[in-house]
Structure 1
Amino acid sequence: MTAAGSLVLPTDDDTRALGRTLGRSLRAGDLVVLTGDLGAGKTTLTQGLAEGLGVRGPITSPTFVIARIHPSLVGGPALVHVDAYRLGGEAELDDLDLDALLEESVTVVEWGHGLAEHLAEDLLEVVLERSGSEEGDQQARLVTLRGVGGRWRDLPDLAPEIG
């Protein structure tokens, strides 16, 4: 079963706000797969997710370390933040032993499309695309949320939190 919805986010702050709202609805065992080109806002969204979860930061792209674990500051699940950009395939992702952490944490995999879906039956895929023209240093993003499995049968209503 899948559910889907899209939003336009005019600024980085709006992208973080979406992440905060979504982060408040995440729980241990959730897998979030982020897809989008370089600069599309995957790490910006993850910063908001981390704020919503109440985990220790700072949240930066784990491109060179591949994965970081951010423990909770509020008694909730840890955030496991993975950047699969440099991984050569599903086997290299499996070498990270994410499945050992999956049940007790929230796992976010940037560049995970086509690599991370096998980690859980239920997952939330977030596709970020640049949209429209740039204003200053900001560019609007089109964000599509696609829930897979019973956990995401109904996507949270996120639109009122943005803007």
Structure 2
Amino acid sequence: MKGLKKKRRVQVILLAAVALVISTGLIGYAMRDGINFFRSPTQIVAEPPAETETFRLGGLVEEGSIVRGQGEVVSFNVTDGGETVRVTYAGVLPDLFAENQGMIGTGRYVNGVFEASEILAKHDETYMPREVVDALKEQGVYQEPDGS
């Protein structure tokens, strides 16, 4: 009787381990398109990503770089103080999108231009995404907002 209980216990443990491995694999497979890595303009210029990779680009919108094209197409430059990347976006920009302000875009880097599918802008005067702050600090151009 003791041998049967031990055998059954080993079978249950093996079955649980197999179920855990399968569920982990399925979760990873389901999330593969939902994970977007953040990159600064300096990182993109130094090591350009594959054209098929979707990622997030963040930085400051360069002053005087916003160009409105036909319809809803807008192009502008994003900088982190070290490098600059050209961005194109077809859509309506957020109301708080402006020059010299922080932004994060999701999209792909194709032929030296970041083609954004989504643009996020700051939500108040002092907010800037953490990733953008870190990239600007790395370049030595981040300035603390006034506490007033």
Normalising by structure 2, what TM-score? Answer: 0.31
Looking at both structures, which has the greater relative contact order when contacts are Cα pairs under 8 Å and sequence separation is at least 6?
1
Q: Which structure is larger by alpha-carbon Rg, 1 or 2?
A: 2
